[in-house]
């Protein structure tokens, strides 16, 4: 058993992380922090966890965390982990960070996309980017894992094989993302209020979205050169889930077989990637509805010979494979466990 603590356990991602860790066969929860709800039982904020634990939220105490913990998950607001993670690493703990604070390799990108100067740029190169399908060996040998953003995960996983196979124009990639309301986090704003969010499809941050930095960083590494993406997200009327629809333009005439070969060569043995391009069945292409609560990323494609496009689809649960589930997958790798430990749940239907 590994002793685990969670810093920032009261948000949606923190709650999903606790749901997974409480049923994990090789994890013993120690400390769960929340400045706002210190002293309150977990179920007061996460009612689905009633009866599963008697642990209460407490304020962050790094001395106590270091004394009781082997691995720390940090699910704090962006810009907060960078203040705490260096101290945790100094004390010899392993850290799985679910914020954006260590995802990017170029320090100046934090000023451009997140509005702050990174105070520990030396840690950026040391941090493993927590996408197991691309960085499994780095995660295994790292002390710090930076879990990717949710929409970035869908975009990178769906584009990786065809970009690395040089099948499409890497300067002309257009990503349209749809995301559920939980992606906005637990703190309400007028824009996330139900009467404003319901019954609509609302584009937001239509240019310059912060996940562009991750997507271009990772796809550029696969392509061994510059990749440029146009990325626009949309808020849609569902609670959990992401669907990305990506328009790519092939460098030569492609067949279904060419594209299948690219995906199979990279993902054939991946436990949480499912290819969904089926002419039969209820859902012939990826649908986030059936990924809710799971760590799966479903990927599919269609060739548009009329407009010379390859359209790629990816669906996942933004709180699971897009955050907490991916963090647990990284934790499993980091601690030498079966990668699927605690993550074998199927989705619900209907």
- pLDDT per residue over 49-83, tens digit each? 999 999 999 999 999 999 999 999 999 998 999 99
Decide if pLDDT at 281 tops 80: no
Backbone angles phi and psi of 264, in degrees to 5 = -65, -35
- Angstrom distance (rounded) from CA 266 to CA 5: 33
Taking 90 as the threshold, does the pLDDT of residue 104 lie above it?
Answer: yes
Residue 350 pLDDT > 90: no
- Identify the band that residue 123 occupies on the pLDDT scale cut at 50, 70 and 90: very high
Residues annotated as catalytic are: 150
- Pick the residue with more confidence: 282 or 177? 177
Please give the average per-residue pLDDT across 138-154, as a whole number: 98
pTM: 0.97
List of residues 6+ apart from 70 with CB closer than 8 A: 2, 3, 4, 93, 94, 335
Q: Is residue 303 a contact partner of residue 232, using CB atoms and an 8 Å limit?
A: no
CA distance 237 to 201: 7
Partners of residue 176 on adjacent β-strands: 232, 245
The model's confidence at residue 187, banded by pLDDT at 50, 70 and 90, is confident
pLDDT for residue 195 is more than 90 = no
What is the pLDDT averaged over residues 118-137? 97
**Mean pLDDT score across all residues of the chain:** 96
Whole-number pLDDT of residue 58: 97
Residue linked to tokens 């604070």: 101
Q: Are 56 and 41 in contact (CB under 8 A)?
A: yes
DSSP state of 49: G
Rounded percentage of the chain residues whose pLDDT exceeds 90: 92
Structural domains of the chain, with CATH: 2-126 (3.40.50.720), 151-318 (3.30.360.10)
- 83 with 17: CB under 8 angstroms? no
Q: Please give the pLDDT value at position 205.
A: 95
CA distances in angstroms from 173 to 9, 77, 100, 167, listed in the order given: 36, 30, 23, 12
Q: Give yes or no for residue 279 having a pLDDT over 80.
A: no
pLDDT (0 to 100) of residue 283: 82
φ, ψ of residue 94 to 5 degrees: the values are: -90, 145
Please determine, for residue 137, whether its predicted confidence score (pLDDT) is greater than 90.
yes
- pLDDT value of residue 135: 98
| CA atoms within 13 A of residue 121's CA, in its CB half-sphere | 10
pLDDT classification of 285: cutoffs 50, 70, 90: very high
Which of helix, strand or coil describes residue 230? strand
Q: What is the pLDDT of residues 198-257, one digit of tens each?
A: 888 999 999 999 999 999 999 999 999 999 999 999 999 999 999 999 999 999 999 999
pLDDT tier at 298 (50, 70, 90 boundaries)? very high
Q: How confident is the model at residue 194 (pLDDT cuts 50, 70, 90)?
A: confident
pLDDT confidence band for 85 (50 / 70 / 90)? very high
């Amino acid at each position: 058993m590994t002793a685990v603590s969670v810093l920032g356990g009261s948000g949606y991602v923190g709650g999903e992380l606790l749901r997974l860790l409480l049923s994990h066969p090789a994890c013993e929860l120690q400390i769960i922090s929340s400045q706002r709800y210190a002293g309150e039982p977990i179920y007061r904020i996460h009612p689905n966890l009633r009866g599963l634990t008697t642990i209460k939220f407490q304020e962050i105490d790094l001395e106590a965390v270091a004394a009781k913990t082997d691995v720390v998950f940090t699910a704090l607001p962006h810009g907060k982990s960078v203040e705490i993670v260096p101290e945790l690493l100094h004390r010899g703990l392993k850290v799985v960070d679910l914020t954006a604070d260590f995802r990017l390799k170029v320090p100046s990108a934090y000023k451009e996309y997140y509005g702050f100067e990174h105070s520990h740029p030396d840690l950026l190169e040391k941090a493993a980017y927590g996408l197991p399908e691309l960085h499994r060996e780095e995660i295994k040998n790292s002390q710090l894992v930076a879990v990717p953003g949710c929409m970035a995960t869908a975009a990178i996983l769906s584009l990786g094989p065809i970009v690395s196979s040089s099948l499409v124009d890497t300067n002309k990639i257009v990503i349209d993302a749809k995301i559920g309301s939980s992606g906005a986090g637990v703190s309400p704003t007028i824009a996330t209020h139900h009467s404003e969010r319901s019954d609509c499809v609302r584009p937001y941050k239509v240019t310059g979205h912060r996940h562009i930095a991750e997507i271009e960083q990772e796809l550029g590494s696969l392509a061994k050169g510059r990749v440029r993406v146009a990325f626009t997200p949309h808020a849609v009327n569902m609670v959990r889930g992401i669907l990305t629809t990506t328009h790519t333009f092939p460098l030569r005439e492609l067949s279904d077989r060419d594209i299948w070969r690219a995906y199979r060569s990279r993902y054939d043995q991946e436990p949480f990637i499912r290819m969904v391009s089926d002419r039969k069945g209820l859902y012939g292409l990826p649908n986030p509805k059936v990924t809710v609560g799971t760590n799966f990323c479903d990927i599919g494609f269609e060739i548009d010979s009329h407009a010379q496009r390859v359209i790629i689809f990816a669906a996942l649960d933004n709180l699971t494979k897009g955050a907490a589930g991916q963090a647990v997958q990284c934790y499993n790798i980091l601690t030498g466990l079966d990668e699927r430990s605690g993550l074998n749940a199927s989705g619900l239907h209907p």
